[in-house]
Amino acid sequence: MLQLTEKPAPRALRRPTALVLTAFVAGIVPFAFHAWAALHGSFSQDDFIMTYRAAVAGPFDLGFLFQDYHGHLSPGGFFVVAVLTWSAPLNFPLLVAPLLLMRAVATVLFWCLLVRCFGRRWAILVPFTVFTASTLLLVPTLWWAYGIQIVPVVLAAVGALYWHVRYLREGGRWWIGTFAWTLFGFAFYEKAVVVPVLLAGVTVLLGQSFRERWRYWAGHVALLVAFAATYLALTSSQVAAGGPPMTAGTVADLTGRMLGDTFLPGLAGGPWSGPGPGATWAPSPFAVVVVLVACSTCPRTSTSARSPAWPPRSPGTKTRSPSARPGSSPAGSCGLRSVRRPRTAPGRRKEPCWSPAVPAAWARRSPAGSPVAEPSGWC
C-alpha cells in the first residue's frame, strides 16, 4: 500500500556574508594576475631540458621518473611533464594549467584552515591576503621548472595542515589525509620534509599532547626516515669538492639574505627591484594588503567572530560537528565543543554550567544567543 509523503522543503540559500565576499576578492584578484602572468610566459632554461627528456623517455619510465636531477628527486614533476609532453609537446599554457589548479586548491584549503582554527572573523583576512597576494609564490613560480616543485609542496602543506587539525579535533580517519598530502609533497620536492615539522608546530600551538597520539607521530617519523633513505640512495651531493668551507659568517649572510632580502619584502609585496630571473612580471600587491589590514582592524564584528579559536579539550569529553545541532556557529569545529547532557530527575531544575573549555571572560562578554553564550553542558 502506497503512502503519500510530503516533499521536504527546499533549503534556503544563504547569502554570502561581507567577510566571505571580501575573502573571495582577496583570493580571486591575485589569482587572476598570476594566471595572466603565467599564461603570457614561455619556456626558460630547465624547461627545455625537462620536456626533451620527457619526450625521449615517457611517463612510465622509472629511470626517468626517479632520476637524480642536479640533486633533486621529483618523480611527480617528471610524471606531469611527461604526460603533458606526450599529449601536446611544447604547449606552455597546458603545462601551466596544473600549477594554476594546484594554486587555486591551496587557496581554498588555506581559507578553510583559517576558518576552522580561528572562526569566521575579519582578522583572518590578514594571513589569508598575505598568502594569496605575496610575490614570494607569484614571481618564482612563473618559471615553470621551479613552479612544478614548489607549488605542489605549498598545496601539500596546506592540505596536510587542514586534515591534521581535523584529526586533532575529531579523531577518526582524518589522519589518512594528512599522510596522503605529505606523500604528495614528497613526490615533487625534497623540501616537503618541512610538512611534518609544520604539523608538530601547530600541535604545540594548539596545546595538544604528542603522547596521546604516539602511533600517529611514529608514522610520520617512519615516513621521514623512509623518504630520507630513498633520497640519499638515489641522489648525490651537490657540494663541489674543494669548495669554500661552510663558516658561521656564511650561514649568517645566507640567513640575512633569506629574511631581509626575500622573506620580509615578499610579505609586504616585494621584491621592489623588479622581476627575478625567468619572471615575466613582478606585481606589487602592497596596497591590497594595506586595505584589507585596515578592514580587518575596523570595529566591525559579527556574532560568529566572538567564538573562541581553539578551546582546550578536557579529558572524558566527546565532540561532535557543529552542524549536528541547530543554531551552531559556522565558524568551524575548532571554536566549539559539545558535551553530553545527562538526564535529570523529575522535578529537578536544570542549571547551565560552563564547560572548562570556555573561559568565563568569553561567557560574560558574549551576547545571548551566540555560540559561546550557549551552555556547553548541564549540571
Phi, psi of 109, rounded to the nearest 5 degrees: -65, -35
- Could you give the CA distance from residue 369 to residue 379 in angstroms, rounded to a whole number? 20
Answer whether the bond into residue 356 is a cis peptide, omega within 30°. no
Indicate whether this model's pTM tops 0.85: no
Give which of 284, 285, 276 is closest to 143, Cα–Cα.
276
Per-domain residue ranges of the chain: 18-237+266-297, 309-379
pLDDT (tens digit per residue) in 292-305:
455 555 544 444 44
Of 1-15, 164-178, 298-312, the range with the lowest mean pLDDT is 298-312
- The yes-or-no verdict on residue 28 having pLDDT over 70 is yes
Q: Does residue 364 register a pLDDT over 50?
A: no
The residue with greater pLDDT, 207 or 354, is 207
Q: Which residues of 183-203 are buried (b: 16+ CB within 10 A; e: fewer)?
A: bbbbbbbbebbebbeebeebb
The 10 Å Cβ neighbour count of residue 112 is: 16
- Per-residue pLDDT, averaged over 191-205, amounts to 90
At residue 98, does pLDDT exceed 90? yes
CA angle 103, 108, 109 (to 5 degrees): 95
Confidence of residue 31 (pLDDT cuts 50, 70, 90): very high
Bridge partner list, 377: 353
User: How far apart (Å, rounded) are the C-alpha atoms in residues 281 and 274?
Assistant: 8
Give the tens place of pLDDT for each residue, 32-61. Answer: 999 998 888 888 888 899 999 988 887 888
Q: What gap in Å lies between CA 208 and CA 310, rounded to an integer?
A: 11
pLDDT at 350 over 80: no
Q: What is the pLDDT of residue 170?
A: 85
Which amino acid type is present at position 124?
I
Percent of the chain with pLDDT over 70: 63
Beta bridge partners of 353: 377
